[in-house]
Amino acid sequence: MSEAGEFQIIEQFFTYPSFGAWKSQGVGDDCAIIDTGAGRLAVTCDMTALGTHFFPDADPEDVGYKALAVNLSDLAAAGAVPRAFFLSIGLPRRDDGWLADFSRGLMALAHESGCALLGGDTTRTPEIDGRHAPATISITAMGDLPAGMGLTRSGAQPGDDIWVSGTVGDAYAALMCRWGRWQVMPDAEPRLFARMDRPTPRIALGQALLGAATACADISDGLLADLDHILTRSCVSAEIEWERIPLSPVLSTLTVARQHEAALAGGDDYELIFTAPPAAAERIFEAGLLSNTPVSRIGRILEREETAVVVRTADGLPVAVPSTGYDHFNAEDPE
């Protein structure tokens, strides 16, 4: 029997109706949106690990920065204002130099985003066959939302436009280059690696989309995989026009097959993918301008069909869709 995937594990073992005094919309969105009685909070928790999310020899300053960035991206997908985070970290040993660099990257983004470190925990990772497991970082981040507001994955409606921020596919292309599978011009590598190592959480854009977007997710597992989360939660389907998907100049130099693989199935971009009615288009462009974030309309939402998403060229020809998205429990290790 094949091992259950990441999202199947969540659905089977950890999805329950909300109960208790703090009501939430439950498991399945980038953030839990909680009405506390005194206000509305968005809360997210993400775990990262050396050897899984980072190369074992990754720059610890980049590790610290990105560990917080992925959580802030979840808050952005909810439209929340970051306020605080809690850090739990497991370490194979005490290494003051590594910790100094890690904390420098972590706190640089914390100060930049106004998200304060308020607590957490430290422990030593378990020993296996005489060696301790690599560093593991868990961050829980919290943000404010206006009363009754907050973006989720479940509001997309047939007829809505599908939008994406920034460009997609660069982080995956960087990974392929580091694995030695792809090549780009040497002067282009730093731009790709920066997208992988220091993603930009689209915090200001998420806040500007409140009241305009109907559904939203951040692109961590891949454009089509994260769009599929919206489609599943909203019980709709989608049609994407390939030429409308925004690619960086570096990615545009690769073969079309690699562009498809990186932009459609690659993850780690931490851009936002969201939906909105056509009447909101002017407001969406304004949100992009106000947040200094490019936004692109790439498709539309359809009534629920047997095929969740179809990608076509401008001429209407179908695009072969690569295997979509990253799943920790179904992923193959790099060769």
Helical (H) or strand (E) element with 260: helix 256-260
Per-residue pLDDT, 86: 96
- Residues 146-182: pLDDT tens digits? 999 999 999 999 999 999 999 999 999 999 999 999 9
Nearest Cα residue to 87 out of 44, 118, 63: 118
Per-residue pLDDT, 125: 83
* Whole-number Å distance between alpha carbons of 154 and 291: 24
Q: What is the overall mean pLDDT for the chain?
A: 89
- In the chain, what are the domain boundaries? 23-145, 160-312
Superfamily of structural domain 23-145: PurM-like, N-terminal domain (3.30.1330.10)
Per-residue pLDDT, 306: 85
Please compute the mean of the pLDDT values over residues 17-38 and round it to a whole number.
Answer: 68
Binding residues for substrate: 53, 268, 326
* Whole-number Å distance between alpha carbons of 142 and 161: 29
Binding residues for ATP: 120-121, 153, 220
In the chain, what percentage of residues exceed pLDDT 70? 87
Higher confidence at residue 329 or residue 256?
Answer: 256
Helical (H) or strand (E) element with 34: strand 32-35
* Whole-number Å distance between alpha carbons of 320 and 162: 20
Name the fold adopted by 160-312.
Answer: Phosphoribosyl-aminoimidazole Synthetase; Chain A, domain 2 (3.90.650)
Binding residues for Mg(2+): 30, 44, 46, 74, 121, 218, 221
Nearest Cα residue to 102 out of 139, 62, 140, 51: 62
Bridge-partner residues for 117, per DSSP? 85
Binding residues: 30, 44, 46, 53, 74, 120-121, 153, 218, 220-221, 268, 326
- Residues 237-277: pLDDT tens digits? 999 999 999 999 999 999 999 999 999 999 999 999 999 99
